[in-house]
Structure 1
């Protein structure tokens, strides 16, 4: 299982950006099923990963913000009695190993047999930020350090590669969590050279994009730690940021290649399933943001590739799926008994036929009772105050026109609303959120204290 932090659709196989260079991820996509309409349970690392690993939706657990990995079990009865994905495989006779960022910080104690560690923070950093001087943020961009060997992801890739060279007398479940392209967008110069600034295309951007969204949408997506597109344009940094993100994606693609090459040359090449996913998407200037943490397409959509053992043919599915579906899907693929606590859908019917009938929607939750419902055609958002957004991707894939108040779409909204979660658990007191004033207040109301994360 290959996990890529903050990866949006800027990979070649998804066609998200014309300047993308990701030969290794593309190769994997050409050998398995690429889900082009996959969405995160939450548009933020901590709650998304907690949801994926427990098989429980954020609205069930109340984990809406970052949480200490070892606090997940303390949240409520559901999490207390859940088995993490790795533990379920371990219970059924698998050897389990992980390295890097798998949960939010690293791993929950005891959730894997072996853990190769996770670098504290997000890699080596220059003595002072190269571009972005805002305090209390990892956001920055530019070439650094000099060599791939200095990057934590290099160590993680080789740790897993070495595990694949070993003799295993049990089936195994291995997870490798890469840090890039999470900020800071620092990778060695050679990756920047792959993407000359003068040749880059900029993402579609409309300056007044947020004028037709509800006030709450602006409040919960306001993250002053990150630059705005307006700032990037006025300061001549937009192309540099796009270059840095593309460079970071190309770098992590090469790390993915190290692992895939090791698997291909190992004795396990023909009996090992491979899954690659990003924990959520990322805005690169769209809607005036360089951030995740919204309920719009750019923040929820992420790559998902599943390659069963021995499969070598490319399949593409445009059906709406959730990363919450990974747990039951991997369990079914490997012939294990169903875990009845899982709230996701088994995707194996789409692995057999990517165009199979599919009545499900993908749900993304950001804070208590704020949800996005994604189908093949529509994105419907309902916020905790009842306000709404609706986008028709058939005519508006950039989500520039909110048609929630258009009477012609009333029936569509009614149908989409049927997918909204019926349970909306209160914010857990173990969940911390400090990069947004609106949600910081919510977590304080839930009983969270500064001492929780010290």
Structure 2
């Protein structure tokens, strides 16, 4: 068959802006272009890296683990803001939080960026069927389950808001921290009934329906799971996988926080005052919710295989931020310790590198330019991230990009930069404290080296790197 080629332009974006490259797609003599790749965009709410493929062999996540074997697992991926709405607004617009100006859970990014083209909107504008099932943009869990919340209607051709028995059975939830609302509480419920009756089970079922309906493609299907966000609700069989007595608590040391700035501490009192037994109860429920969510991811991946779409579909799995489960006495998010900033990120590309891990520091912000490049689409605005396509080809390749995470609590902003070896953090520009951790020697961040004389050069270098990552604050 005689073939001819046409040229399509797309952008590759980095901190220095976007540059145009070219891609070539083959056409046959009838002028039919090769099939566009689909995108399955899986978002998980409040998921840290307590996953089998990330080295936690206690937590059962067989489906996310098998996805990691299909693609590239990024071992040092970081959120831009460890809170749902700021993180999701950043990822989906391709802009840093200081550009979106979203620092809490109420502001919609379009208030500040009315004309920005979001990631799903880019695909929609380029003749992809763009659909959302569940939570992609922010809305409160569990309060706004079943609603649109802070959705962005222009991003989608179709949206589905499931609501399951976890929502209707809220009165059965056990709250270990009753002074906290359910969405920010250590609270749980081992539910009766089938997976498909839960909201996440319904998310998987609706995603499967859309895969069947739109299998001819091309599609951008965003599938947003709610668990393991609190309250930790899952069918009882997932709780049974984790006998309470067997739950391992994170390592802690005495006087751990003596060298840590007060501004860095988000959970007060430590462990919210819970006993060891209660902490195990909460952690078992969090792990049960992870395994339940993992099973729903598996259902969607199975359908992708059954429909023979796997070799036509880019799969991205990500969490909006990490999650403290007792490290340093801290729980949940809104801190700049590693467990809150570090996120799972797995990207599988048909015919691409499989079963490899990259140790390069990357950001959720990098997903937008990566998918645009992989699919040959042209972003209409300068993006804050950098395409990961070179690392998808060579996970150990040369990479000179650090990862940046920020948070705002009690009117104080913390900003952190993560290199492959160090984490450096300034609170209120350093006026409320500075932290430096050497992950090569101290992966648990037990020793703050910021005031150690032998690290003066490192502190100065990282302070400059931190400033470079936040040009909007100059």
TM-score by length of 2: 0.83
Compute the displacement of 1:311 (Å). 3.6
- Structure 1 vs Structure 2 CA RMSD: 2.1
- The 2-side partners of 1:67 and 1:347 are apart by 31
Are the aligned partners of 2:72 and 2:348 in contact in 1 as well (CA < 8 Å)? yes
Deviations 1:372-402, CA, capped at 9 Å, x for gaps: 1011110000111412100000111000100
Deviations 1:94-138, CA, capped at 9 Å, x for gaps: 110111000102521221100012549973434254242224233
| Structure 2: gaps spanning 5 or more residues | 1-40, 140-147
Matched, 1:12 2:52: yes
Are the aligned partners of 1:122 and 1:184 in contact in 2 as well (CA < 8 Å)? no
Matched with 1:344 is 385
Matched with 2:3 is none
Matched, 1:388 2:431: no
Are the aligned partners of 1:74 and 1:80 in contact in 2 as well (CA < 8 Å)? yes
Alignment of structure 1 residues 375-454 onto 2, 5 Å: 375-386=419-430, 387-420=433-466, 421-424=469-472
Cα gap change, 1:120 to 1:50, in 2 (>3 Å): farther
Compute the displacement of 1:150 (Å). 2.4
- The 1-side partners of 2:278 and 2:58 are apart by 17
From 228, 243, 246, give the equivalent of 1:196: 243
Matched with 2:125 is 91
Cα gap change, 1:135 to 1:365, in 2 (>3 Å): closer
- The 2-side partners of 1:258 and 1:162 are apart by 12
Q: Give the structure with higher Rg (CA).
A: 2
Compute the displacement of 1:258 (Å). 0.8
Structure 2 residue matching 1:318: 3-state secondary structure = strand
Matched, 1:159 2:206: yes
From 53, 65, 72, give the equivalent of 2:109: 72
Deviations 1:344-385, CA, capped at 9 Å, x for gaps: 011111001001111110101112752110111100001114
Compute the displacement of 1:154 (Å). 0.7
Structure 2 residue matching 1:146: 3-state secondary structure = coil
Compute the displacement of 1:149 (Å). 2.5
Cα gap change, 1:312 to 1:343, in 2 (>3 Å): closer
Matched with 1:27 is 66
Alignment of structure 1 residues 90-239 onto 2, 5 Å: 90-105=124-139, 106=148, 107-119=151-163, 123-132=167-176, 133-138=178-183, 139=185, 140-218=187-265, 221-222=266-267, 228-229=270-271, 231-233=273-275, 236-239=277-280
From 50, 53, 56, give the equivalent of 2:89: 50
- The 2-side partners of 1:23 and 1:358 are apart by 30
Are the aligned partners of 1:60 and 1:424 in contact in 2 as well (CA < 8 Å)? yes
Matched, 1:317 2:358: yes
Are the aligned partners of 1:207 and 1:288 in contact in 2 as well (CA < 8 Å)? no
Matched, 1:294 2:294: no
Are the aligned partners of 2:165 and 2:197 in contact in 1 as well (CA < 8 Å)? no
Structure 1 residue matching 2:331: 3-state secondary structure = coil
- The 2-side partners of 1:346 and 1:360 are apart by 11
Structure 2 residue matching 1:104: 3-state secondary structure = coil
Cα gap change, 1:73 to 1:274, in 2 (>3 Å): same
TM-score by length of 1: 0.86
Farther off after superposition, 49-58 or 413-422? 413-422
Compute the displacement of 1:313 (Å). 2.3
- The 2-side partners of 1:423 and 1:121 are apart by 46
- The 1-side partners of 2:57 and 2:275 are apart by 20
Deviations 1:136-180, CA, capped at 9 Å, x for gaps: 233202412433222111111111111111245541101000000
Count, aligned residues:
414
Matched with 2:11 is none
Compute the displacement of 1:240 (Å). 1.3
Deviations 1:288-317, CA, capped at 9 Å, x for gaps: 122111011010101000001234721100
Matched with 1:448 is none
Are the aligned partners of 2:46 and 2:322 in contact in 1 as well (CA < 8 Å)? yes
- The 1-side partners of 2:237 and 2:164 are apart by 24
